[in-house]
Structure 1
Amino acid sequence: MGQPVLGILTLYLNDNGLLEEKPIYQKMTVAGRKLGLDVYVFTPQDVNYKQNRIHALMFDPSTKNWTRKWRSFPNMIFDRCRIQQSHRFQELQQFRKKYGHLTFLNRVLRNKWTVYKLMRKDERFRPHLPLTRMYESPTDLTEMIRKYPLVYLKPVNGTGGRGILRIEKQQNGTYLIQGRDQSRKIISPQRVPLSGLHGRLEGWNLKANRYLVQQGIQLKLPNGRVHDYRMLVQKNGSGDWAVTGCAGRIGASGSITSNLHGGGEAITMQALLKQWIKNEDTVEEVTQKAEELGLQMAAFLEQSYGRLCEMALDLAIDRKGQIWLLEVNPKPAREVFIQAGERDTYRRAIVRPLEYAIWLHEQKNRRKNITTPIEEELPTPE
């Protein structure tokens, strides 16, 4: 029996074959080889559906070059595809439908609204979820802004801080609108009275673009920059959920989000918490509580949606030490740890999905040896 094979499923960012995370896939290939795992990268466009073969993208550590080679389907698939508005995403949906019976390390998580509604049903998580509602009419925003002095408007399927608006009531009764457009560009801050708020937001087509209205948590540091925490929870080589790490993120000056792609910077969780809360005992208590919560949430979401192997939880922590879940990211980047100077955590973040893949493969083989019928087959040529 040869090495187990892991295929990393991704999407090209454009029609010229650009891949966003190529350096990460390179590191995964090298780490996989050391673990005895054969790793290659592919997209739905690289699949020959008639012959059930894949024109795989392979990295050679000895030459440090990427080459193409026709390969059989892998034993396992690590789905790294993020939502994009393109024909490529439609091809991905067709691939998932046709080959959904194969062994995926991670199944698809639903949009922000569906995840929120699901998690609200569990009393363990309810105190940690900022009140959120779907924007159906201006009334939804009006009622929320009257209840909370700060609210956020977020696209249901948005990523990377795109299209997010922050609306905060000012002492003089006006409302300050800040945010980023769909290309992550910071928009000019605007102050409007409540009567002019909806008119100013008309161009955003909030209902058509499926926006959420979310209770805002005050997270501005003394220098005016916002901050939050990115916790990475992954399955380990024993098939168990574990917190790989948690790092702080500080947004760029004038930004309403902390995303690194939007100019934010990373810092260790402990250093940021000590700046924010200052009481060391509270910092320790909050850190432990956040990790417990992260593991509970990961297990709950996997139980609800099917097999998952990693997720990032974007957390806010207020001055009192209350932990809030802002968002769940099922396809997390790892750069926050290297930027925070946590090299060991960064390395662990790359290796853990590979260790989990090997564990999963061994479990599958063990079941095959116990039962005669093969539980999951590779595709049969048509």
Structure 2
Amino acid sequence: MNQTPLQDGTFGEMEKFYQEMKSYCNQQGIPFYLVKLQSLQDGVVEGYLPGQGGWKALPLPIPDVFYNRIHSRKLEQSPSFKLFKTELEERSIPMFNGRFLSKHDVHELLILEDELLPNLPETILFNEKETFLTFIEKHSVIYFKPESGSQGRNICRLTQVAGKWKIEQSGHLQNVDFADTDEKLFETLKRFSRKRSFILQKGISLFETDQRKVDFRILLHRNEQLEWKVTSMVARIGDPGTIVSNLAQGGLMKNGPDFLKEAFELQDASRIYQKLVRLAKNTAQALVENLDDSFGELGIDLALDTDTNPWIIEVNSKPSKKFQGNYETFRPSVKSIIDFMLALNRENHP
């Protein structure tokens, strides 16, 4: 992790999640604490244990398993993080979800799997002008997204309208612009990107309800047999008129299976649910087979088109841990993460 406690001794919006992790570990008789990024050479780590006045910094033993919740892409690229990973490897200590995933890297890995090709919107990096012009010739609706963005920020929808390109930005108060030619569109997007890395993705005619775009965030974890299981599925329903359905951009959240039952006949809802689950599991499995890093948790965003065919929109290796909903004991993801950590430890110490 890359946080320090706030003045009130808590970890802000992550506090509830960390407290649930601690409580479940206590119930199982497992030590749990938070560790800052640091060298392991001294054989101890500076970590945080919860107390009455909040989390206290203490020297603690090096843990047997690390779950990476660093929220900074820049920090994950730093020499200190690379050294930390090297020291873990030297000590044969497993760490999972060791890095963020970029949208283009994920796409390039998934297109290696023939069975996923029908569910992948065509996607390219925004760089060379010739490649850009060839791409936009083929598609009348395109999404322009930051390669490493999150929460639906800085996304544009490009739509061909009467020989012009309409450019709509994500956000509650959308900015709308027009480009008269393909060349002007390229220059406009170049200015908008400000030298950051962006992708272009073929637009899908998404399923809507009451003129609201809908997609599904499916949270998956690997179980004790190291197989992927679906922990939860939510439907994210966008504000009317917005180009994204992200909760951070004003979207609503509903239980996924319940939403499907409301939107479709029961038999169709069950069929669509199974399609989404199967695609999410296959996507997760394809990634772990093609990546060197270990992953035990993924948030996969899928969407239905108007013919209810599912499409892979995005894969998130650091899914949000904001508390949403009510649980009598622990949210399902807490138990799943700790159980996976135990499975890794057993595999490491047979």
Quick check: TM above 0.5?
Answer: yes
Identify the residue that residue 186 of structure 2 maps to in structure 1: 198
Unpaired runs of 5+ residues, structure 2, are none
1:138 and 2:129 aligned: yes
1:57 and 2:44 aligned: no
- The match for 1:125 among 116, 133, 143 is 116
Task: Give, in angstroms, the shift of residue 223 of structure 1.
Answer: 3.8
Counterpart residue identity of residue 67, structure 2: F
Task: Give, in angstroms, the shift of residue 15 of structure 1.
Answer: 11
- Aligned mates of 1:72, 1:113 — CA distance in 2: 38
List per-residue Cα deviations over 1:84-136 (Å, max 9, x = no partner).
44699553333223333421133436422122112111111111100001112
Counterpart residue identity of residue 114, structure 2: E
Counterpart residue identity of residue 274, structure 2: Q
Residues 53-132 of structure 1 mapped to structure 2, 5 A cutoff: 53-60=44-51, 63=52, 65-85=54-74, 91-101=80-90, 102-108=93-99, 110-132=101-123
- Aligned mates of 1:146, 1:42 — CA distance in 2: 50
- Aligned mates of 1:109, 1:86 — CA distance in 2: 11
Normalized against structure 1, the TM-score is what? Answer: 0.80
SS at match of 1:315: strand
SS at match of 1:248: strand
- Aligned mates of 2:319, 2:302 — CA distance in 1: 14
Is the Cα–Cα contact under 8 Å of residues 73 and 100 in structure 2 kept in the other structure?
A: no
- The match for 2:163 among 165, 173, 197 is 173
Identify the residue that residue 4 of structure 1 maps to in structure 2: none
Task: Give, in angstroms, the shift of residue 244 of structure 1.
Answer: 0.8
Task: Give, in angstroms, the shift of residue 220 of structure 1.
Answer: 6.2
| Cα pair distance change 1:187/1:98, threshold 3 Å | farther
Counterpart residue identity of residue 200, structure 1: T
Is the Cα–Cα contact under 8 Å of residues 174 and 242 in structure 2 kept in the other structure?
A: no
Task: Give, in angstroms, the shift of residue 286 of structure 1.
Answer: 1.5
Task: Give, in angstroms, the shift of residue 51 of structure 1.
Answer: 1.9
Normalized against structure 2, the TM-score is what? Answer: 0.86
- The match for 1:29 among 19, 22, 31 is 22
- Aligned mates of 1:100, 1:194 — CA distance in 2: 53
Is the Cα–Cα contact under 8 Å of residues 231 and 243 in structure 1 kept in the other structure?
A: yes
- Aligned mates of 2:74, 2:63 — CA distance in 1: 27
* Percent identical residues: 22
SS at match of 2:70: coil
- Aligned mates of 1:87, 1:134 — CA distance in 2: 22
| Cα pair distance change 1:233/1:344, threshold 3 Å | farther
How many equivalent pairs are there?
344
Identify the residue that residue 300 of structure 2 maps to in structure 1: 313
- CA RMSD in angstroms, aligned pairs only: 3.0
Is the Cα–Cα contact under 8 Å of residues 226 and 340 in structure 2 kept in the other structure?
A: yes
Unpaired runs of 5+ residues, structure 1, are 1-9, 367-382
Counterpart residue identity of residue 199, structure 2: L
1:11 and 2:2 aligned: yes
Identify the residue that residue 217 of structure 1 maps to in structure 2: 204
Task: Give, in angstroms, the shift of residue 318 of structure 1.
Answer: 1.0
Identify the residue that residue 233 of structure 2 maps to in structure 1: 246
